[in-house]
Each structure stands twice: as structure tokens, then as C-alpha cells.
Amino acid sequence: MKREPVPLHVTPVSRNLSTRVTYLGLEWGDLLRIAGGMSLAFFVSGYFDARLLGLPLNLVMLFVVPAVAWPSLRLLKYGRQRGYLTDRWQYRIRPKAYSAQGRDSEYTEPYLAD
């Protein structure tokens, strides 16, 4: 008995791997940072017996943190590449080496002897 070949069904697949996965215009890592900020603000403000506009401060902070963080992150990250804020933070906290050709004030003797 001779079997006929089964036709291969091909479906188009998106190959744009450089597209960012975003939700509400922010990457998932940024949303996790906002959620962490919300939980930290809720935890810290729970120690204060304060009220703002008749509501407990910890509930107000749950709405204030994302209301401030989301637009500020959107403005800071607009048009920037992926991981921009992380790279900028690491650049600011690392010791600076501006030029590899600059003269060193500590070492005046040649490093290698001829």
C-alpha cells in the first residue's frame, strides 16, 4: 500500500525579537519595581498613625506611589534603549576611569623595564 505524502502546513510566525514586552507602557521589571515600592511604602507607612484626607496613610501611599512612579518612569525612559536606567545607575556608582591613555599620578616609574 503506497502512502501519499502529507502536506506541510506552514503558519506565519513573527520574527521581531527586538520588540519589548510592555504592559501599560512599562517593562515588566519596572512594574515589579513599582510593586516593590508600593509594598515598601505600605509597610513603612503602617508604623505611623496618620490620616490624609480622612484615609489611613498606608492606603493613601498605595495610590500615591504608582501615581508618581508610573508617569516619571514613562518620562525618564521615553526613547531610551532597554536597561537604560540600570546602566545609568551602575555608571554613577562605579569608580571612574575616564581615559586609559591618561598619565597616572601615583606611578611615576615605568611599569615594564626594558
CA dihedral for 81, 86, 87, 89, sign (positive or negative) = positive
pLDDT recorded at residue 36: 92
Q: Where are the domains of the chain?
A: 22-80
Give residue 47's region: left, alpha or beta (phi > 0; psi -120 to 50): alpha
Q: What is the pTM of this model?
A: 0.57
Note down pLDDT in tens along the chain; length 114 residues: 778 887 788 887 777 767 777 788 888 888 898 999 999 988 888 888 888 788 888 888 888 888 999 898 888 877 777 777 788 888 888 877 666 676 777 777 777 776
Cell numbers at 81, concatenated: 534603549
pLDDT recorded at residue 114: 64
CA dihedral for 72, 85, 32, 50, sign (positive or negative) = negative
